[in-house]
Amino acid sequence: MKYEEIIIEKREYELLRQIISNADHNKDKTYKASIEKLTDELKSATIINNENMPIEVVRFNSIVTVQMPFGEPKSFQIVTPDKSDISKNKLSILAPMGLALFGYAVSDEIMWQFPSGINAIKILDVEQPDTLQKE
């Protein structure tokens, strides 16, 4: 892991906690496990101001290129649930992959529970086209 723990911008941390608290009703086991793992990670996350936020850390609206254990690298934009559109590679923060990547940085490798089982994801690249601070 590039940093000691996940890094989250202060405003995005508050938004993420609100989104997670509103998502508690979902009954899917994989989804619940992803929410629980991220909630656990948030307890030790480093919360920082936008101006100190490293550019290589995955956050809201980041375009993330990842390598899965199978296939070619894929790029996704991590978005709020209302902007999710997988046909446009816009992945909800609440999707297992979105939950897995949030707060991690380029070159991090994450082991995460997906519907297909536990898989390693390696972050190859992160672009910051439009963070929430710019909206």
The structural domain count of the chain equals 1
Q: Is residue 135 part of a domain?
A: no
Cα distances (angstroms) measured from residue 43 to each of 7, 37, 104: 11, 10, 15
CATH label of the domain that carries residue 84: 3.10.50.30
Given this model, what pLDDT does residue 134 score? 42
Phi first, then psi: what are they for 36, rounded to 5°? -65, -40
State the Cα–Cα distance between residues 84 and 124, nearest whole angstrom. 22
State the Cα–Cα distance between residues 63 and 133, nearest whole angstrom. 16
State the Cα–Cα distance between residues 79 and 90, nearest whole angstrom. 6
* Residue burial 56-82, b: 16+ Cβ < 10 Å; e: rest: bbbbbbbbbebeeeeeeeeebbbbbee
Q: Is residue 1 part of a domain?
A: no
Given this model, what pLDDT does residue 135 score? 39
State the Cα–Cα distance between residues 9 and 13, nearest whole angstrom. 6
Q: Is residue 22 part of a domain?
A: yes
Q: Is residue 28 part of a domain?
A: yes
CB contact at 8 A, 100 and 112: yes
CB contact at 8 A, 91 and 102: no
Q: Per-residue confidence of the chain (135 residues) as pLDDT tens digits?
A: 788 889 999 999 999 888 888 776 666 676 677 778 778 888 889 999 999 999 999 999 999 999 987 789 999 999 988 899 999 999 988 888 888 899 999 999 998 777 778 888 999 999 998 654 443
* Chain centroid to CA 111: 13
Q: Is residue 2 part of a domain?
A: no
Q: Is residue 60 part of a domain?
A: yes
Q: Is residue 53 part of a domain?
A: yes
Residue 111 belongs to what domain range? 7-130
